[in-house]
Each structure stands twice: as C-alpha cells, then as structure tokens.
Structure 1
Amino acid sequence: MTVSLDSVTTDRGGIIENRHYVHVAVVDQAGNLLYSAGDPSRITLARSAAKPAQALAVLETGAFRQYGFDEADLALMCASHNSEARHIARARAMLAKAGAAESDLRCGGHAALSEAVNRAWIKADYVPTAVCNNCSGKHAGMLAAARALGEPPADYHLLDHPVQVRVKQVLAELAGLDAKHVRWGIDGCNLPAPALALWALGQVYAALAGAADDLDAARQAELPVVPERTRHMASIYHAMTRYPEMVGGDGRFCTELMQAFDGALIGKLGADGCYGVGIRASEETISLGAEGSIGIAVKIEDGSVEILYAVVMEVLAQLGIGTLDTREKLTQFHHLKRLNTMGVTTGRVSLGFKLDNLNATSLNAASEQPVSLRNSHEDAPGQDFSLPPVDSGKDAWLFLAACWVIEALVHDETREDLTDDITGFGFSFGIFQDYYSSYEPFLGAGNIAVIGTSTMVIQAALVHPGDGLFINYLTRVSSSIGGCFAYCPCVLYVDEWFVQRKGMAFGIMWSAGGFGGVVLPLLFEVLLTSYGFATALRIWAGILAALAIPLSFFVKPRLPPSATTNLRPFNIRFVTSKGFLLHQIANIVQATGYFLPGIYLPSYARSTFGTSTFFSALTLMLANISTTIGSVVMGSMTDKLQTTTCIAISAIGASTGTLLVWGLSSSLGVLYGFCVMYGLFAGCWTSIWPGIMRDIARRGEPEGQRHTDPVMIFGLLSAGRGIGNLASGPLSESLVEGMTWKGEAIGGYGSGYGPLIVYTGVTALFAGSSFIWKRLGLL
C-alpha cells in the first residue's frame, strides 16, 4: 500500500508555520478497509481510546453485576473525564460499591483536563488525589474486576495480572488480531497501553457500534439467545451515548460529539492525538459500501489534540456522516480560527487531506498488506463467551438456591459424614429412633442409635442379611452413594461461584440442613404414624426425585469445561502441617459430641418432662431453626473475622448452652432455650470450615504446600467429622447406659443423661482449642 503524506497545515500571513501529518483508517464491521489517509497501518498507541475495550474485559469478569454498577459507572470506565465534582463523586461511589478505598487505586492525581476545574482547584489550594485522575473510572473498574476474579487487587495494573491478561485477549479479539500483533507500553495513568495497527483500532470501534445494531436486530426478530459479548459491547455503546457527560465533561469534544449525533455514534479520545469513532449502520454507511457498522481511527503524528478534533470532524464531513445541521453544532472544533490577544485573525488552519477510497480492501495482521476480504469476527475466539459474575448475579444465586434445596433434601450428613445418613434423615433421626424403638421389626433392638451415627459401610458389613435391620441398612448405603453424587458438586463448585462471600455461601447452603430439620421431623412423624416406615421411605424417595433431579441441572461449574480441563491441584502435604492437624483434632473431638443432642433430645424431653410426641419433636425443630440462622450468620462472619475468633464464639456459646442451660434445666421451657442456643452456636460449626480452608490453603504455608485445593481440605475435614460421628454411636450408648447420676444431681444432670450432657459440653468447649493455639503461636 502506498502511504500518502496527508497533513493539516497552519499558517501565519500565508507562511506555513506548522504541518501536522494525519493518519486515518475507516473500516467496516466485516473487516474491510474502506477509506484511509496517511498510513492506516501505522502502529499506534491507542492510549485512552482503548478504554471501551478495556471496559469490556471488566464486564466479562462479572464485576459490573456483582458490585451493582450502572450505565453511568460504565460510561466513567470509558472516560477521560474533566475531574468535575460529578466525576469524582461517581468514582468514589464505584470504589465504595466494590468495597475498595481510594488508596487502592494505582493512579496518581494531576491537573484537571478542564481549565475551569483546574482554576477552581488552584484558587482553593486543592491538591488532586488519585480519584481526581481522568482515568479513575477505568482504574476503579479494573480494581473491581480483580476482586470479582478473586485475584490480588494490589497489582491489577501490572501487565501480567489476570485482569490485564483478559484485557489483552479481549482487545485482540475485537481488533481481529492475534494477540502477538498487539504491543504494550505503560500509559500516563500507570496502566498498560496497547499499540496496534490504526485500522485494527478502527475495527474495535466498528465492533462496538455493530453490537448495538446486532442487539436491536435480535430484539426485533425476538431471538431467544443473544451472545453475551454482543450484549456487553452494546451496553458499552449505550452507556457512552446515554451518559456522554461522564465520558468527558463540559466543553469536551467527546461529550459534545455524542450529544450532537444523538446515539448514532460513539467517540473517544486517546492522549497524544489518537481518536476512535464507532458509527452504527445507516443509509449513509451503506452508501459508502460498508458491510454493517463503521469504525474510524485517527492519529495525528505530532500529538496535537486541537488538530485531532478538526480532523475527526473533517473525516465525518468527507464521509457524509450526519446532517449539515448536526455537524454545525460542532463547528468550533471543525473550523479552527487563529486569533491573537486583540481578536485579530493571524492565520488559518487548512485541512488539506483527502480520504482515499480503497474499494473495500482488507488488511492482514501479519503482513499488513492488502489481501482478500476477511471477516475477523467469525474467527475471533471467545467472542460469544462471558463468565458469569462471582459472589452475585442470577447464575450464582440459582446455583446457591439449588444447592440449598439439595442440602435440605440430601442433608447435612453428607458433609458431616460422607458415608452416613445422607437421605435427609440426619436432623430427623430422633423421630426415626422413636419409631424404631416402638414398632416391629425394630422393637427391642439394642443398637438403634448406631443406625444414625455409624458409617454405612461398617453397618452393611456387620449386619447379617437375615437380620430385621438389613433392608434399613441397605437403603442407607444406596442412598448414601446417591447422596454423595448429588451433593459433592455443590461443595466443589462453591469455590468457583463465590470468592469474597464464600463463607456466607457455605453458611446459606448449610443452613438448609437446619431448615430441613424443621420440616422433615413433622413430615416423617405424619408419614411413619400413618403409613409405616416402608411406605414412608417410598414417599420420601418420590419427593427426592421430584425436587432434587430438576435442581441438579443448576449445580454446574462457573468455568466452562474448556477452561477446566486441567486437573485440580492434588497437593496433600498440608495434612502434615501443624495448622491442619490442630484444626482436625478439634474437629474430630467436637464431632464425637455434636450429634448426641440431635439423637437424644426427643427421648430426653419425653422421659424427663413427660411431653407428648409433638412437644418432644419440637426440641429438634427449635434446634434446627436456630441452626439455619446460625449457619448464615457465622458464614458471613467467617468472611470478615479471623477464623479462630469465629471458632471461639461457636465453642463458648455451645458449651455454655450445654453445661449451664441443658445441664441445669428444670423445665421444658429452659430445655427449649438450650435447643436454640445449641443450634445457633454448635450448629454453625461447619460454617467456619471455609475460614479453615482459606487459612490452610492460602496463609502462612511453606513453599511445598502451595496450590493446595481447598476442596481437598474440605474432604478431609468431612472425613474427620465422620470419624467423630462414628465414634459417637457406641459412645452414646455407654454414656446413657445405666442412667448414671439419675436422681442424684440437679436439673438435666440428674435425669439419667448427665454423662452425655457433660461429654457434649466438654467436646464443644474443646472445639475452641484452636483459639488458644493461635494465641500461643502454634497456628
């Protein structure tokens, strides 16, 4: 391609004073180079003209929805603003939404681009800070993106940070380039600045304008599915046209250009004489031979912004974009005057270039020479791909809602003992125990408690097929296997869907076990009384199938299969670390006592206070209601407080409730109070696990323990809880055998359940030992 030396000249008294060389590329949505001036392949630092593409990368992290950003925020992400009060206020609001501070920004303050604002600052002796930077919106967006991805936010500005890696890929895809053909420098605001062929920058703007057209066309055709990237690009286009004052400000060319053209185009300045324009398809673009929308990229060789604006207006005029009246609104930018301090005309500005019609020539990114026509969008990888947001958004909440229901059905015991009572019986087992103890074929069996607390593998091995309990055990084994398949993905994928609010997510999910414990005891009481255990189990199986199977389709990974083909980390060296061992010991000991109240409370209430079946079952209901609340609250606390602090709160509350309230209880009302306390403080124990997982996987571990999978930690904590659960079965039999202390002590201690109460309280207190180890420097 022949490169012309197109230029704009300024003269004084007819003598040329300055010559500003001009480079222009006009491309269409299909990747065709339609018109040019100067060198349309000039490698150009886009500077702030790249901001819409950078904003797209932020959108695709899910940060926009996660932190509740609106269109005006999105416009500010694309802005080189005046630092007016509205711009600074919005930048601060964006930081607040993302839970960040101004000190987290990696840009500095500078004199305002607006002379009026700058004069006001000088008059007020105001020193601008980072939030006053004209790029503060972009920085706030990228900081939020880092948080949404769960990546270290402090380094979001570095070229190898995951946010910038996404920016590089997104920009290359929009430009129709291989990423290796985009080079990178450092911008004035401290972020990476892309350098690419001028026509490729035009391609970016054609894609943005084309997305607005494509979205409108899809809506008119009532298409059920529109590519997510198309939606995101259209959102950027509309944000800029609906809030042009955020993109620039009072008196700024970008703002006035978009206001004058009223949604027909977007325009964005890049420092040192670079500009991008995206124009939606119309009769005007069709007359130019364009396929779809048009993108224009302009570069002034010497970086003059004043000349840049005049050239942009001249390009629009030569292409016939907009009416004469529309362009007249911008005449102060187009037809520049040269006046001295007395208002005398001293010279003129001559826009002496003419666009060359290239008859739809396409450029090859590698050779940068004319080649056959191509459609860069068809080959751009990942164009239709967008990750849903973490910590919020429809997909994340649907996932969590599905997990919640599955947890309520498949029950807490999947996580407490992966081979135990997984079919929803865990919190209702007291009801089953009453039934088993009162009706054939279980009447008189001495090992009923083991059904609800021993592992299913051991149960199946110990029970002879001729035994009356064999069918019951076999049912538990098969349901345990199915429960694991249904429940384990819930645990596995929480780590992908929730980052900053992971504890809250686990707490909400695990609260379902408590909710199920409110409803299921009542349900099973009715079913067992009305139909017997066999029919009751069949009805329950039907409920499981009707609810769990459809919901399982929402339990899916956040990352698509193509992005998760690598094996998850399998580093188990952490099992020998002091931190894990101390947490695990406390976890196992706590589990040996935790399940005992759930098994014996209904029997205790009936034998001690002579309550009816309903009021004895109410003990479980109250414990489970409070467990639901406690799990959510403790999960949220785990996201904010030190893990050992949460452990101490749980241990002190549970042990106090057990030893003082249950142990000294003399009435049914006091017992109900214990049930509430126990559910709140002991029932929330596993909601602390995300904190333990986080601490072991990410904090203070030696080099050899990096890349530890938190889910592996979860699995071993569950196994430890299962060991404790297994031990609690036969242990509970020995604790209540002989009704020790009955009639010899006060309150609950003299009810025959005294040793069980003491053991439960002591193990609950020991669960808080990690708090002591932390203070002693062992954790």
Structure 2
Amino acid sequence: MTALKPLSTTSPALLCEVIRGDFVESLHAGHAVICDAEGQVVRVWGDADVQVFPRSSCKMLQALPLLESGAADAAGLNDEALALACASHNGAHIHTDRVGAWLKDLGMGDDDLRCGPQRPDDREARHEMIRTGASPCQVHNNCSGKHAGFLTLNRHLGGGTEYHEPDHPVQRAVREAFEEETGETSPGYGIDGCSAPNFATSLGGLARAMAKFAAPDESSVRGVAQQRLYEAMVTHPALVAGEGRACTGLMRAAKGRAAVKTGAEGVFVAILPEQGLGVALKVNDGTTRASEAAIAAILVGLGVLEENDPEVQRLANAPLINRRGMTVGSVRAAQALRTGW
C-alpha cells in the first residue's frame, strides 16, 4: 500500500476545548473543510489536503453501487434498508431485526456476513444478552447493514463469498464510486473494523463527495442514487445510529435539512442540500466528543441548526458533570467554529 502523507502539511486548527473551573484543561485540534456543489473549498480550518481514512463516514459512498447496479431494486429494498446500508447502528432490535429479515429475504444468514460479531452498544439489547446468556452475532455489528448491502450487490454481480476482500468485484465497484465522488485517486486503503477496505482520501475530497450528494444530478443514475440514500437517512435517523447518538439526534434536530454521519477516529461529515454544501472534519487525536462538538457548531454556523437547540447544547456546549452530579466545566466547540460566520 502506498504510504500515507503526513497527517498535515500545515498546523491543525483548534476544534474543541475542555473547560474545568476557570481553566482550559484539554484541547482537541484537527481539520475541517466545507465544499460547494462545484467541488471548491469555500472554508477550511487547518488543512484541506490532509489525508484521512473516512472510516464509517463514507458508508453513503460505499452504498452507491448497491443502487446504481440495480441490485437494491431487484431485491426490493425499501428506505429502511437503505438507511441501514449507511448505518453505524447500536445493535438495538430496531436494527438487528431488520438486518436479520433482510438476510432472510436474500436466502442468507448470519454466517454469510464477514463483519464479525460485536456486543451491542444499545443498553437494553446488551442487558438482554447478558440475562439470556446469548453471545453477540455478526448481525449485532454496527456495520451489519452495510454488509447486508454488500451481500445484496454481490448476489446481483455473481461474485464469490469473500465480498469483503479488496480485489473482489464488490469492493472494486466501491472504490470506483469512491474515487469518482471524491475526485481523487485513492493512495491506498486500510482494513476497517468490519474487515472491509477503507480507502484513503484528502479531507477536501471527502467534503467534495458530500457536496455532490447535496446537489445531485437527478437526471443521472448516480444522482437518483444519491438522493435516495440522503432521503433514507433523514427519514430514518434512528436506523442510522440509535437513541442517544449524535447522528440520530442532529438529523432529528435538522428536520430533513441535513444528513450527518460519524466515522471512527474523530471523523464526521454532513450533507446540506439547501446550501449545496458538503462538510468533512477530522480530529487529530480521534476523539469522538470533539468531532461531535465540532460538527454541531459548524451546522449552527451554516444556519442548519439553532444554537439553543438541546441537541446542539448537548454536543457543542456539553456540561462536564462529576460523580456527585455537580457541573464542574464543559466540553465545547472552539470559538473559531462558533463565531465569524
């Protein structure tokens, strides 16, 4: 694999700070980019050229061949399935029951997945598993919807069972769509937590891809696919993540005006159709609390969310509460993300 370039060629920007008392206790730096429908960078904090693994933030791109090939329609997939194809879900019953039914409709089962088992993040599902002595299955994996999509595409293409391998027709189709949407040739890939290849790109390229989703050419096959995936996500935000999760909460608060998606190691993206903009950010230390604060503040700055919205306050100005229930500080988006728009 071609070696990745250094994390940044310029200094990262401050994206989030942790306040305790009257002091700044911790700082989270990184990079954030906004691109327009023409693919041009319109605003940047840090370095738009920094190369990143998008991780799960690019699941919408990975789902494009599922629709463009005709596999989704041939399998009769509804919007709920398309939302799950883009999901990093909690493993609640609303997720696993639907993925299980999807696999059954394909004539397949848990053993056909290649994502690996994962203990559910959903508290009720996790406690139920403990009470019953059950073990997690692959369907509980947060990426099981994406993998059900891969299996659906693979059945349509007639490929071999190891659909997750980088040289498999499924992943070749994913890479082609990924590079077309980012406008860049990926320098290589890493293997994600779910065993699928995750292709590297610049942060600006990732934002560019999101902007294309924000302003799709609805006369083209790809544009229709982009629109369908966007609509599925904003219509079913609970399927994309789950209760208490930033993706679900922010999309509910945006009321159809934005689709947002997190990725591991401090990545977040947003699709904003009204403005024709795409957003991508990466926190250098991979901290989720910082990426959530940053994306919430950027959505406020772009006029998609109100600053006093409870979900924005929960993420971008979160109280720091100690074990006695005392508010002792806050986790908040950096000033540069909250002012000067």
* Same topology, TM > 0.5: yes
Alpha carbons of structure 1 residues 32 and 295: separation in structure 2 relative to 1, 3 Å: same
Distance in 2 (CA, whole Å) between partners of 1:144 and 1:351 is 40
Distance (Å, rounded) in 2 between the aligned partners of 1:204 and 1:264: 17
Aligned pair 1:166/2:159, yes or no?
no
Which residue of the partner structure matches residue 248 of structure 1? 241
Q: Which amino acid aligns with 1:161?
A: H
Structure 1 residue 191 corresponds to structure 2 residue 196: yes
Larger RCO, structure (CA 8 Å, separation 6 or more): 2
Q: Following superposition of structure 1 onto structure 2, how do residues 256-295 of structure 1 map, counting pairs within 5 Å?
A: 256-281=249-274, 285=275, 293-295=276-278
Q: Give the SS at the match of 1:23.
A: strand
2 CA distance for matches of 1:193 and 1:46? 7
Q: Percent identity?
A: 34
Q: Distance in 2 between matches of 1:323 and 1:9?
A: 21
Cα deviation for residue 30 of structure 1 reads 0.4
Go from structure 1 to structure 2 and tell me whether the alpha carbon gap of 1:65 and 1:76 turns closer, same or farther (over 3 Å shift): same
The aligned counterpart of 1:229 is: 222
What is the number of equivalent residue pairs in this alignment? 332
Question: Superposed, which structure 2 residues align to 1:107-146 within 5 Å?
Answer: 107-146=115-154
Deviation per residue, 1:505-529 (Å, 9 max, x gap)? xxxxxxxxxxxxxxxxxxxxxxxxx
Structure 1: which amino acid aligns with 2:108? A
Distance 2:88 2:249 in 1: 14
Match of 1:354?
A: 336
Q: Which residue of 1 aligns with 2:6?
A: none
Secondary structure of 1:26 counterpart: strand
TM-score normalized with structure 2 length:
0.91
Partner Cα distance (1:313, 1:355) in 2? 9
* Alpha-carbon distance between aligned partners in 2 of 1:92 and 1:173, rounded to the nearest angstrom: 32
Tell me which amino acid in the other structure corresponds to 2:199. Answer: P
Cα–Cα, structure 1 residues 41 and 116, in superposed 2: closer, same or farther, change >3 Å?
farther
- Aligned counterparts of 1:356 and 1:196: Cα–Cα separation in 2: 27
Correspondence 1:47 to 2:55: yes
What is the distance in 1 between the residues matched to 2:285 and 2:12? Answer: 16
Give the SS at the match of 2:98.
helix
Deviation, 1:274, is 0.5
Q: Counterpart in 2 of 1:341?
A: 323
**Residue 183 of structure 2: aligned partner:** 176
Matched to 2:214, the amino acid is A
Partner residue of 1:309? 292
Matches of residues 684-699 of structure 1 in structure 2 within 5 Å? none
Asked if structure 2 preserves the Cα contact closer than 8 Å seen for 1:69 and 1:97, the reply is no
TM-fit CA distance, 1:51: 0.4
Q: Which runs of 5+ in 2 are unaligned?
A: 1-8
Greater helix proportion: 1
- For residues 54 and 198 of structure 2, the distance between their equivalents in structure 1, rounded to whole angstroms, comes to 7
Larger Rg computed on CA atoms:
1
Matched to 1:294, the amino acid is L
Q: Deviations over 1:200-225 (max 9, x none)?
A: 111111111212xx53xxxxxxxxxx
- 2:251, 2:17 → 1: CA distance? 27
User: What stretches of structure 1 of length at least 5 have no aligned partner?
Assistant: 216-225, 286-292, 358-779
Distance 1:73-1:256 versus aligned 2 partners, 3 A rule: same
Deviation at 1:2, TM superposition (A): 5.1
Aligned to 1:336, what secondary structure does the other structure show? strand
Instruction: Considering fraction of residues, name the structure with more strand.
Output: 2
Q: Distance in 2 between matches of 1:132 and 1:36?
A: 37
Query: Shift of residue 245 of structure 1?
Result: 1.3
Per-residue CA deviations over 1:102-124 (Å, capped at 9, x if unaligned) read: 10100111122233432333233
Whichever residue aligns with residue 267 of structure 2, its letter is C
Q: 1:27: Cα distance to partner?
A: 0.6
Q: Mapping of 1:336-735 within 5 angstroms?
A: 336-354=318-336
User: 1:347 Cα deviation (Å)?
Assistant: 2.5
- Report the Cα offset of residue 7 of structure 1: 3.8
Q: Normalized against structure 1, the TM-score is what? A: 0.41
Which digits, 9 at most, give the CA deviation of each residue in 1:18-54, with x for residues without a partner?
Answer: 2211210011110110111122221111111110000
1:37 touches 1:356 (CA, 8 Å); kept in 2? no
Alignment partner, residue 524 of structure 1: none
1:319 counterpart (302, 315, 320): 302
Deviation, 1:243, is 1.2
Secondary structure at the counterpart of residue 146 of structure 2: helix
- C-alpha displacement of 1:257: 1.2
Equivalent-residue separation in structure 1 for 2:223 and 2:62 (angstroms): 15
Q: Deviation string for 1:669-701 (max 9, x for gaps)?
A: xxxxxxxxxxxxxxxxxxxxxxxxxxxxxxxxx
* Secondary structure, counterpart of 1:302 in structure 2: coil
**Equivalent residue, structure 2, for 1:97:** 105
